[in-house]
Chain A
Amino acid sequence: MATVDEKRKRILGYAAVVLFLLFLPILVPRFYIYILTVIFVTSILAMSLNLVAGHGGLFQFHHGVFYGIGAYTAALILAKTSLPPLVGFIAGPIAAAAAGLIIGLFCVRLSRLYFGMLQISLGSLVWAITFRWYDFTGGDDGIHGIPIPALLSSINRSYYFILTILVIVMILLYLILKSPFGGILQAIRDNPDRCAAVGINVRRHQLVAIVIATFFAGVAGVMFVVVEGTVFPDLMFWVLSLEIFIMCLLGGWFTFSGPILGAAIIVSLRTFAGVYTEYWTLILGIILILLIFFLPEGVMGFITEKMKGKEPEALRSTEKEVDQ
């Protein structure tokens, strides 16, 4: 448990980072601001996944589908209707959460890897429909040149907007994790059988967590539309879902802000390694292996360890025992 002093230090630390980010657009060229915005969007997505995957212990293998549903809903409303943009911004996350509820209802009946595989199948159905339904979703070509409200359309404006959303999402996720619900969720992760034995409805808690996580994935999807002004079926393809999962693992998957670091590492590696070589996936793979070997707790785990000056708690040891 963090002491009051440590807590204040941490809040101060976050505030300093946010303050720094607020002034950044004055200091650095706009391409870096754009990449930071992309990192923010990816961070929202990775953090939403980590709520169910890291803190909930669920094999949410096809999280990208909900990101895509959020993005497509917003894009369709912005591009094909004359409704105010705000409707699209609100409808995106709601549609994602609704899909999360439906797919979640099927999946929570299953455990571990079976959960993940059923989700991949159901998610792939959504992907296949999006890919094929030319009249509605634009098929594999996607929808491009989506009109973004002028208020958000420049790089700096979208940067500030998405930074604000990221901070709000972080606060909300933090509150959820610290709430009694969050406590139960993590207890279920660590020992589902014991939780069931003391009368906790495991499936219902997991389902609620999925709906919350998919809602935030929808938020990330809407933000993607704000930054790029475009949607395409790759957003729902399993490759992207695997990448988000990897970001959580890499950043440190039992930590709160680890997924942000994971997102930042993957996005910046692929952008800046891509500048120098077409073999950037090779570089990415090698760096991943180095990180696995030298930073076993994930990058965030490593940083916390350094800051505390001691080994982080061995949360992981409980993990192995529970899978049957």
Chain B
Amino acid sequence: MTHKKKDFLAVILAGVSALLLISPLAMTGTAQARNIKVGIIDCYSGPAAVYGNDALNGFKLALEEINKQGVLGGKIEYTTRDTKFKVDIALNMAKELVMREEVDLLVGTINSAAALAVSKTIAKEQKIPFIVWISKDEKITGAEGHRYVFSTADNTAMGGTAGGVGLSKKPYKKYWIAGDDYAYGHAIADAAWRNLKALKPDVEKIGESWWKVGEPDLVPYLTSIMGAKPDAVIFCTGGASMTNTLKALKTTGMAAKIPSWIHTAIDHAVLKPLAAEGPEGVTGTIQYLFYYPETPENKAFVDSFQKAYGTPPGFPAFNAYLTAHFIAEAFKKAGKIDKEKFIDALEGLKVKNPVGGMVEMRACDHQAVYPMYFGTTKKVPQYDFVIATDITTLKGDEVLPTCDEITKSRGK
């Protein structure tokens, strides 16, 4: 090895270590009244990053408003960690935030396994409040719920129920169920089918198909479904797979022939990139649409979000915006920065819904309660991508399992 190379290496090593040593010093600001520290663990890489970023933007926007007045004489500050959609890294990062950064509470993540792992091994064990804001696993606030975990996300029970209730008003009888072969897909399918069957006992399931998550070519699945001629199809898919599903629905012409319902199909993060290729006639459910309801509150929220980040807010931004306000209001109500008091204050707390009205954090299961929208995609002149039309609103308590059901599921 030459001297030149060695010197170069030494400089690099010195530089890196200096950076590692200095930056914590630079980061510890000069806050007098103590700030509230929120630790965010979420996925900012891979296909899930689009949701992680949207949530973070919603959170930042809310903090800008909140920090104008401050909370308990201080501000809410946050720090983020990228989990790369991996459970072990999420645990490392969450522990780092709790032990080293000494955050007051944890917030995150899109990955259900990571959310459950953090909830049960860190939040519960070390008594740190943890608010889940994107992951839709109903177990988080359902069977596996406990004092230290909260959710502002719509879970699979809500999504599935909304779909089941919505579909029960349609005339279809013969159903096919298809989706991503993982917990999310199956949970949505179960909830939707259970509710649909309860409300409309004469429906019949003629078949199921499940593909691996991220399956690039869904055409063979769709052709075999079309061959079976169901009246309607329940698709249980999300994220990047959703785009593949919608594309395949369009190219095979299935969207025009057989009606289908997909939870979150009317999410504009999915429909916007498809532009004119987005299929019409697909029904979906979601808790937030930037164009509906057309209240002044919603318009103001969308305008300020659009101004700050260049895109309209999606459902993760909505969840995160609520999360920020829940945090601020709960600390105000608690009167001091104390984890147990914070939890007591958060139970049953109501904050303003950015579209108008209030959202409650249900005390019995720590699940945020808000309405779901059920609508069908259609081309409209105002937008160059398809949007949801013909929207029905399902009230929050219509789509959530009752407190009794939650107690029962936790009891076993």
Contacts and interface: CB of A to CB of B under 8 A. Distances in A.
Interface of A: 29-31, 34-35, 38, 131-132, 134, 139-142, 144-145, 228-230, 232, 234-235, 270-272, 274-276, 278, 280-281, 290, 294
Contacts of A29: 99-100
Looking at chain A's contact residues, the main secondary structure is helix
Contacts of B81: 274-275, 278
A275 B96 contact: yes
B117 A274 contact: no
Nearest to B98: A31
A53 to B, nearest CB: 22
B398 interface: no
A230 B182 contact: no
Contacts of A139: 182-183
B182 A142 contact: no
29 contacts: A29-B100, A31-B96, A132-B181, A139-B183, A140-B112, A140-B182, A140-B183, A141-B139, A142-B116, A142-B117, A144-B120, A145-B120, A145-B121, A145-B124, A228-B88, A230-B91, A232-B87, A232-B117, A234-B86, A234-B87, A234-B88, A271-B93, A274-B82, A275-B96, A276-B20, A278-B44, A294-B6, A294-B8, A294-B9
Contact of B99 (A30, A228, A234): A30
A31 B24 CA distance: 15
B412 interface: no
B9 A290 contact: yes
B198 interface: no
A88 B339 CA distance: 35
B305 to A, nearest CB: 21
Interface string B186-230: 100000000000000000000000000000000000000000000
Contacts of A35: 92
B95 A230 contact: no
Interface string B1-38: 10001101100100000011001000000000000000
A290 B183 CA distance: 41
A72 B174 CA distance: 40
A30 B121 CA distance: 16
Contacts of B9: 290, 294
Contact of B92 (A38, A229, A278): A38
Interface in B74-105: 80-82, 84, 86-89, 91-93, 95-96, 99-100
A64 to B, nearest CB: 11
Q: Which of A35, A232, A276 has the most CB of B within 10 A?
A: A232
Contact of B116 (A31, A34, A144, A272): A144
A235 B91 CA distance: 13
B363 interface: no
Given A141-B113, A144-B120, A229-B121, A270 B12 contact: no
